[in-house]
Chain A
Amino acid sequence: SYELTQPPSVSVSPGQTASITCSGDNLQEKYVCWYQHKPGQSPVLVIYQDKKRPSGIPERFSGSNSDNTATLTISGTLAMDEADYYCQAWDNNIVVFGGGTKLTVL
């Protein structure tokens, strides 16, 4: 079965840039979405179709996808961005999520 691999954790200082990666076989051939999930809340879509931002998502969130790796970039990271982040793609009629990355802002 298809797998998406994310680092378990990423740390960033406030105001700096955070990058969260998601790797998978031929991932550049698929469209990738990213979700933010804070404790006690429902997940929120922050990036779809590799790099598009839904309405209401701040411009500091951006995405890219090339060479088997998709990347979520958060520029000027704020304390409120601390959360778990999941990448997601479709493969063979199945929705696949990455294992999630805990972003710590310290």
Chain B
Amino acid sequence: EVQLVESGGGLEQPGKSLTLSCVASEFTFNNFAMHWVRQAPGKGLEWVSGIDASGASLYADSVKGRFTISRDNARNSLYLHLNSLRVEDTAIYYCVKDRVRVLATIRGFGAALDIWGQGTTVTVSS
């Protein structure tokens, strides 16, 4: 069964850092783009960042310059380094697989977030 398992969430203070990890199984990890999507308490889904099969990345404006996405294809792993944490970063963070290997395909053709992990919770509070 295709699976994504996140870890690394927890309680952290504003201004501190945290690294989330996601381990993929039962699919060829290095053939697909990957994303992080979050959901703050009582809010909707918010895309955070994506990385293509070759390592090129994109970020939402709300996290640009503070968060860094990376992947280790040899370890079938995706990471998100959260820096300069803010209270508004409190959310469930989902690791998500894309249907395609590249980001921002023309008009979004073929792209879709087709497999989601169970999520890991990040709480930012003093």
Whether A43 contacts B60 by the Cβ 8 Å rule is no
Whether A42 contacts B116 by the Cβ 8 Å rule is yes
- Name which residue of chain B comes closest to A54, CB basis: B114
B71 at the interface (CB under 8 A from A): no
Residues of chain B in range 66-125 having any CB-CB distance to chain A below 8 Å: 94, 99, 103-105, 107-114, 116-119
Whether A33 contacts B47 by the Cβ 8 Å rule is no
Whether A88 contacts B58 by the Cβ 8 Å rule is no
Whether A45 contacts B112 by the Cβ 8 Å rule is yes
User: How many inter-chain residue pairs (CB < 8 Å) link A and B?
Assistant: 75
- Give me 13 other A-B pairs in contact (C-beta within 8 A), A86-B44, A90-B105 excluded: A30-B108, A31-B107, A33-B108, A33-B111, A37-B45, A42-B116, A45-B113, A48-B99, A48-B111, A48-B112, A48-B114, A49-B109, A99-B44
List residues of B whose CB falls within 8 A of some A CB: 35, 37, 44-47, 50, 58, 60-61, 94, 99, 103-105, 107-114, 116-119
Q: What are 18 pairs between A and B in contact, CB < 8 Å?
A: A31-B107, A31-B109, A33-B108, A35-B45, A45-B113, A48-B110, A49-B110, A54-B112, A86-B44, A86-B45, A90-B104, A90-B105, A90-B107, A90-B108, A95-B37, A95-B60, A97-B46, A100-B45
